[in-house]
Amino acid sequence: MAVRAAVLPAIGAPLEITGIELPDPGPGQVRVRLAAAGVCHSDLSLSNGTMRVPVPAVLGHEGAGTVVSVGEGVTHISPGAPVVLNWAPSCGSCHACALDEVWLCANAMNGAAGVHARTSDGTDLHPGLNVAAFAEETVVPASCVLPLPDGVPLVDAALLGCAVLTGYGAVHHSARVRAGESVAVFGVGGVGLATLQSARIAGASRIIAVDVSPAKEDLARAAGATDYVIASDTTPREIRALTGKQGVDVSVECVGRAVSIRAAWESTRRGGRTTVVGIGGKDQQVVFNALELFHWGRTLSGCVYGNTDPARDLPVIAGHVREGRMDLAALVTERIGLDGIPAAFENMLAGKGGRALVVF
Query: Which CATH number characterizes residue 39's domain?
Result: 3.90.180.10
Query: Would you give the DSSP letter of residue 114?
Result: S
Q: How many domains does the chain have?
A: 2
pLDDT in tens, 266-281: 999 999 999 999 998 8
Tell whether 316 is covered by a domain: no
Asked whether residue 94 falls in the same domain as residue 142, the answer is: yes
Could you tell me which residue, 157 or 42, shows the higher pLDDT? 157
User: For position 46, what pLDDT does the model report?
Assistant: 87
Cβ–Cβ < 8 Å for 210, 186: yes
Q: Is the pLDDT of residue 200 over 90?
A: yes
**Domain span at 41:** 2-161+327-359
User: For position 50, what pLDDT does the model report?
Assistant: 84
pLDDT level of residue 351 (50, 70, 90 thresholds): confident
Asked whether residue 99 falls in the same domain as residue 211, the answer is: no
Among 50-54, 106-110, 169-173, 220-224, name the one with the lowest average pLDDT: 50-54
User: For position 49, what pLDDT does the model report?
Assistant: 83
Tell whether 315 is covered by a domain: no
In order, the DSSP letters of 184-226 are: EEE--SHHHHHHHHHHHHTT-SEEEEEES-GGGHHHHHHHT-S
User: For position 354, what pLDDT does the model report?
Assistant: 81
Q: Is the pLDDT of residue 1 over 80?
A: no
Tell whether 191 is covered by a domain: yes
pLDDT in tens, 232-265: 999 999 999 999 999 999 999 999 999 999 999 9
The region, left, alpha or beta by phi > 0 then psi within -120 to 50, assigned to residue 297 is left
Asked whether residue 141 falls in the same domain as residue 206, the answer is: no
Return phi, psi of residue 127, to 5°.
Answer: -85, 115
pLDDT level of residue 318 (50, 70, 90 thresholds): very high
CATH code of residue 246: 3.40.50.720
Q: Is the pLDDT of residue 145 over 90?
A: yes
Tell whether 33 is covered by a domain: yes
User: For position 44, what pLDDT does the model report?
Assistant: 86
Distance of CA 237 to the CA centre of its chain: 29
Mean pLDDT of the chain: 95
pLDDT in tens, 174-183: 999 999 999 9
Asked whether residue 179 falls in the same domain as residue 276, the answer is: yes
Nearest Cα residue to 129 out of 187, 28, 52, 243: 52
pLDDT level of residue 309 (50, 70, 90 thresholds): very high
